[in-house]
């Protein structure tokens, strides 16, 4: 099946013999795709297939560990620090913005009645003191910390190309404009596992994998295995399947960059549902296949003031959003996802 999302080839962007005109063509194609669709496949980027194969192998090793061993690196209570291991049911993805008003609290309570059936492990820069990493003991999974730390920075190298291309495509003052607000230390590498579940529980909405949501960040880079299940909402409101393309990055605009660009670039709702083909179910219970994915969220530095980009406003299009400190924005968005303190998975409660 041919991909329904645009494919942007970064070969010309990365080639040392590429002309400025050719680079600009890549940048304009990327921005046009982000305006009209919001999600794109990027091929011929800096992350090699060998590195991706290793990353998925480590991800499977991690989630194959017994629960009591994974719980040696538990996600901290509350929304302030987003690191370490999150067990099924801890995180609740939604579009609620996370105020503390009574009505908002009732909405959150209702949302949590349907558990998100996934587990994840969050990794960041070792230099980010506000978001300290929570590591497994080296004896549990030797080599894991070394590999994932290296892979984090490999992803950042690819992300810098995308930010430069967006800067050029948006006609910002220079290619490095967006990089002035991103130094790589506030990003997040997430390893994700969706365990097998009976298809009927997803079809009846008694369980969810990943409900429809937008991302908070500037951009997201996603690597997915061959299982499938990701769906993206088009501008017309229809959810379409984002089938896996081997080695490709699926890149999407986050809410922060939408705000920053004055809605010129728009984030999309997306979700993870059933695998797209029935042959990916097994047994009489129609168990789904396990699914693994690796998103890399690219976020501005926490002290950055996010206000309308200079090329995204004029007399006819004044800024739609007031300036906001990125630290405040992140905490506002995180407060719903990790609001329950002291919670433990049932197996180790």
Residue 207 and residue 197 in contact, taking contact as beta carbons nearer than 8 Å? yes
Residue 296 and residue 187 in contact, taking contact as beta carbons nearer than 8 Å? yes
Q: According to the model, what pLDDT value does residue 194 have? A: 92
- What radius of gyration, in Å, describes the C-alpha atoms of the chain? 20
Q: How far apart are CA 168 and CA 37, in angstroms?
A: 19
Q: How far apart are CA 51 and CA 67, in angstroms?
A: 27
Give CA 111 to chain center in angstroms.
21
In the chain, what are the domains?
Answer: 7-337 (2.60.120.330)
- Predicted confidence (pLDDT) per residue in 289-330, tens digit: 899 999 999 999 999 999 999 999 999 999 999 999 999 998
Among 170-184, 188-202, 249-263, the least confident range = 188-202
Confidence band for 4, pLDDT divided at 50, 70 and 90? confident
- Dihedral sign from CA coordinates of 55, 330, 176, 28: positive
Confidence band for 336, pLDDT divided at 50, 70 and 90? low
In order, the DSSP letters of 88-129 are TTT----S-----SHHHHHHHHHHTTSEE--EEEEE--TT-S
Q: Hey, is 85 helix, strand or coil?
A: strand
CB atoms within 10 A of CB 81: 19
Among 27-36, 210-219, 273-282, 328-337, the least confident range = 273-282
Q: Which of 24, 306, 341, 53 is nearest to 186 (CA)?
A: 306
Q: According to the model, what pLDDT value does residue 101 have? A: 46
- State the Cα angle at 44 between 159 and 36, rounded to 5°: 65
Q: What is the mean pLDDT of the chain?
A: 87
Give me the helices (H) in the chain, please. 11-14, 20-36, 49-63, 67-70, 102-111, 144-169, 199-203, 255-260, 326-337
- Predicted confidence (pLDDT) per residue in 195-234, tens digit: 988 878 777 666 777 888 899 899 999 999 998 889 999 8
Q: How far apart are CA 116 and CA 271, in angstroms?
A: 11
Q: How far apart are CA 55 and CA 75, in angstroms?
A: 21
Residue 288 and residue 187 in contact, taking contact as beta carbons nearer than 8 Å? no
- Predicted confidence (pLDDT) per residue in 89-130, tens digit: 765 454 444 444 444 454 444 444 556 788 999 999 999 999
Residue 269 and residue 212 in contact, taking contact as beta carbons nearer than 8 Å? yes
Q: How far apart are CA 289 and CA 286, in angstroms?
A: 9
């Amino acid at each position: 099946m041919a991909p329904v999302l645009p494919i942007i080839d970064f070969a010309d962007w990365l080639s040392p013999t590429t002309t400025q005109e050719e680079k600009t063509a890549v940048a304009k194609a990327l921005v046009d795709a982000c305006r009209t669709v919001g999600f794109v496949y990027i091929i011929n980027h800096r992350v090699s297939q060998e590195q991706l194969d290793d990353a998925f192998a480590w991800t499977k090793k991690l989630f194959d560990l017994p629960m009591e061993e994974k719980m040696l690196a538990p996600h901290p209570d509350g929304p302030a620090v987003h690191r370490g291991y999150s067990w099924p049911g801890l995180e609740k993805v939604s579009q609620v913005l996370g105020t503390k008003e009574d009505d908002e609290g009732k909405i959150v309570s209702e949302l949590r009645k349907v558990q998100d059936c996934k587990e994840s492990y969050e990794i960041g820069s070792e230099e980010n003191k506000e978001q300290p990493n929570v590591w497994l003991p080296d004896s549990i999974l030797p080599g894991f910390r070394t590999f994932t730390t290296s892979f984090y920075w490999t992803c950042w190298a690819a992300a810098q190309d995308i930010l430069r291309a967006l800067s050029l495509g948006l006609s910002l003052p220079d290619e490095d404009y967006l990089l002035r607000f991103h130094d790589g230390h506030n990003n997040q590498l997430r390893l994700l596992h969706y365990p097998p579940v009976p298809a009927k529980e997803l079809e009846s909405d008694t369980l969810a994998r990943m409900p429809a949501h937008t991302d908070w960040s500037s951009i997201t880079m996603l690597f997915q295995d061959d299982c499938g299940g990701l769906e993206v909402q088009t501008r017309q409101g229809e959810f379409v399947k984002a089938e896996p393309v081997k080695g490709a990055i699926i890149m999407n605009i986050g809410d922060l960059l939408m705000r920053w660009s004055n809605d010129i670039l728009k984030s999309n709702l997306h979700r993870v549902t059933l695998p797209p083909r029935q042959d990916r179910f097994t047994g009489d219970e129609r168990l789904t296949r396990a699914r693994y994915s690796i998103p890399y969220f690219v976020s501005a530095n926490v002290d950055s003031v996010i206000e309308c980009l200079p090329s995204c406003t004029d007399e006819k299009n004044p800024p739609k959003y007031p300036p906001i400190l990125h630290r405040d924005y992140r905490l506002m968005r995180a407060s719903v996802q990790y609001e329950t303190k002291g919670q433990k998975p049932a197996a180790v409660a």
